[in-house]
Structure 1
Amino acid sequence: MVSKENADHYNWGEQCDGWTLMQRQDLSVIHERMPAHTQEIRHYHAQARQFFFVLSGTLCMELEGEHHLLTTHQGLEIPPQARHQARNESERDVEFLVISHPTTRGDRTDLR
């Protein structure tokens, strides 16, 4: 059994947290936390399809120039090759799941 308490933890971006709940070549599931007013680098994945699902808080997802506000228990699919960026524009933490098929390891291109 896996949980946030016993999963491998890592830090990313601007004081953000990730917990790897499942990491296989064909599938990854990550629980992430973004503090208020943080964001990731806009990027895309060549092969991976992703699904972001908000557990708590509000996540702003930019997908190919369109902005989506996701609140608790809402999700958004990100197809391969789609340029996207997760941002927390709120005053409180946002926690969400990122489910990727296949894994995104070695499949990310950052856009600056």
Structure 2
Amino acid sequence: MKIHKEQAEHYIWGDGCDGWYLERDSDRTIIQERMPAGTCEVKHVHQKSKQFFFILSGEAKMWIDGTVITLKSQEGCTILPGIPHQIRNESFEAVEFLVISTPSTRGDRTAL
């Protein structure tokens, strides 16, 4: 079945960040997210879910268990279960990215 971001279930998180569920079931979620300049998520960890972040546009900083990496457009990284992490937008422009979680992160997030 075809899906477009504008038809997907939308939610707002953090400080004015947007998310769109492109796929949402217990086995996997695929979310497109948009973070305005200067925003970040809370540092957290998932015990069961593996996540893959892929930058569509802009630039993000990923804090991964104390190490910071920069992800630019068309770059991504995998976060394994049990690894503390946080995505940040320290740039002056919005960043858009995909987050693919296997299995779903529902009920599997602990803030640090």
Q: TM-score, normalised by structure 1?
A: 0.98
Partners of 1:94 and 1:3 in 2: how far apart?
18
Structure 1 unaligned residues grouped into runs of 5+? none
Partners of 2:84 and 2:64 in 1: how far apart?
6
**Over residues 22-53 of structure 1, what are the superposed CA-to-partner deviations in whole Å (9 max), with x where a residue is unaligned?**
00101100000000000000000010000000
Q: What SS does structure 1 have at the residue aligned with 2:10?
A: strand
Partners of 1:51 and 1:105 in 2: how far apart?
16
Runs of 4+ aligned structure 1 residues displaced above 6 Å come to none
Whichever residue aligns with residue 105 of structure 2, its letter is T
Partners of 2:82 and 2:61 in 1: how far apart?
19
Q: TM-score, normalised by structure 2?
A: 0.98
Aligned to 2:49: 48
> What displacement does 1:3 show?
1.1
Partners of 1:44 and 1:27 in 2: how far apart?
17
> What displacement does 1:80 show?
0.1
Aligned to 1:68: 69
Partners of 2:70 and 2:5 in 1: how far apart?
25
User: Percent identity between the aligned chains?
Assistant: 51
Whichever residue aligns with residue 31 of structure 1, its letter is Q
Aligned to 1:3: 4
Partners of 1:12 and 1:89 in 2: how far apart?
17
Whichever residue aligns with residue 106 of structure 2, its letter is R
Q: CA RMSD in A?
A: 0.4
How many equivalent residue pairs?
111
Whichever residue aligns with residue 103 of structure 1, its letter is S
